[in-house]
């Protein structure tokens, strides 16, 4: 599936073995349909849950627009998990 960040992903694949691109509900190609309001805090906790389930090694995280704020908050809370040696 194509993503809005396709060119970036192609470039990053040359340097990283694993790239995870979660989309916030109702953003990008997400299939979410509105049943309630989605706010930054809800998205934040969803991404934190994903990180806790699938990320085992130190990682780099970034986001665009609202995702940038969420990425900054995640990095401040999970600094040891995010920083690469």
Tell me if 81 sits within 8 A of 51, measured CB to CB.
yes
Rounded Cα distance, 33 and 2, in Å:
20
CA 79 to chain centroid:
15
pLDDT in tens, 40-75: 888 888 888 888 888 877 777 878 888 888 888 888
* Sole residue written with tokens 């993503």: 3
Task: Let me know: does 1 contact 29? Beta carbons within 8 Å.
Answer: yes
The CA distance from 41 to 28, in Å, is: 18
**Is the separation of the CB atoms in 74 and 41 below 8 Å?**
no
The predicted model gives 22-51 an average pLDDT of 75
Which sign does the torsion angle of CA 74, 51, 61, 84 carry?
positive
Q: What is the pLDDT of residue 2?
A: 58
């Amino acid at each position: 599936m194509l993503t809005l960040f396709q060119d970036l992903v192609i470039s990053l694949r040359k340097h990283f073995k694993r790239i995870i691109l979660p989309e916030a509900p109702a953003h990008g190609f997400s299939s979410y349909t509105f049943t309630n309001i989605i706010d930054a805090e809800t998205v934040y906790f969803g991404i934190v849950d994903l990180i806790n389930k699938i990320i085992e090694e130190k990682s780099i995280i970034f986001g665009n627009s609202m995702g940038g704020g969420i990425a900054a908050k995640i990095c401040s809370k999970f600094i040891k998990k995010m920083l690469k040696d």
